[in-house]
Amino acid sequence: DAGVTQSPTHLIKTRGQQVTLRCSPISGHKSVSWYQQVLGQGPQFIFQYYEKEERGRGNFPDRFSARQFPNYSSELNVNALLLGDSALYLCASSLAVTGGRNEKLFFGSGTQLSVL
Amino acid sequence: GIQVEQSPPDLILQEGANSTLRCNFSDSVNNLQWFHQNPWGQLINLFYIPSGTKQNGRLSATTVATERYSLLYISSSQTTDSGVYFCAVISNFGNEKLTFGTGTRLTIIP
């Protein structure tokens, strides 16, 4: 079975532009979470979606938005890019909403976003 | 929110050595996971271990929930064990989302 897949793997944008990142969860998983990992730090939670509904949001500005599609894949959108948005963006999937007992997260390889 | 601290921040070992990585958390948790991030950025789930002890090959983990810490043991280290190890938890009183620790960077020298 395929794991969590993310695209693109690398992306270079300039300040003020908009970007869309894509994620396909493991087959059968209904929950997708997005994390931002700045160099040298642990991942920081951005969003969680379960059954196409937002189930949690981290401490990120409204420039960040996401959605989940009927096939459980997800997109993360970032508007008006800033230099500080440069990071590795990770997508994770789980069977159900993270927070429940026995819920393990499985991560994709990430999208490396560079904002110039 | 919950604080998660890992130690040591960096560890350099010869191939074949054993190591112990520690994760301290500031609040009671209902979910604790250990991850290995390889040099290419891929996060691999090693253990789901909110309490007790588990073993998987050369790796084992123990969580003492009442004392708010978890340990990851790596025996007979191999160069492929190099990377950053993260502990991540969900607090019983938080927003039910995984909070990652500061990480331990492990370098195994041939």
Minimum-distance CB partner of A109 among B42, B95, B97: B42
pLDDT score at A102: 56
The residue whose two tokens read 């998987």 is: B56
pLDDT at A88 over 80: yes
Give the 3-state secondary structure of residue A24.
strand
The pLDDT confidence band at residue B91, using thresholds 50, 70 and 90, is confident
Q: B91 touching A, CB under 8 A?
A: no
Mean of pLDDT values over A7-33: 95
Query: What are the pLDDT digits (tens) for A38-86?
Result: 998 999 999 999 888 998 899 999 999 999 999 999 999 999 999 999 9
DSSP label at residue A34: E
Mean pLDDT of B54-83: 97
Interface A-B, measured as beta-carbon pairs within 8 A, has a size of: 61
**Are A8 and A111 spatial neighbours (Cβ–Cβ below 8 Å)?**
yes
How far from B34 is each of A35, A43, A113, B37, B60, CA to CA, in Å? Answer: 16, 13, 25, 10, 10
Q: Does B99 lie at the interface with A, CB-CB under 8 angstroms?
A: yes
Q: How confident is the model at residue A98 (pLDDT cuts 50, 70, 90)?
A: low
Per-residue 3-state assignment (H helix, E strand, C coil) for chain B: CCCEEEECCEEEEECCCCEEEEEEECCCEEEEEEEEECCCCCEEEEEECCCEEEEECCEEEEEEHHHCEEEEEECCCCHHHCEEEEEEEEECCCCCCCEECCCEEEEEEC
pLDDT at residue A103 above 60? yes
- The mean of the pLDDT values for chain B is 94
| B72 CA: distance to closest CA in chain A (Å) | 17
Mean pLDDT of chain A: 92
Residue B4 reports pLDDT greater than 80: yes
**Residue appearing with tokens 């079975």:** A1
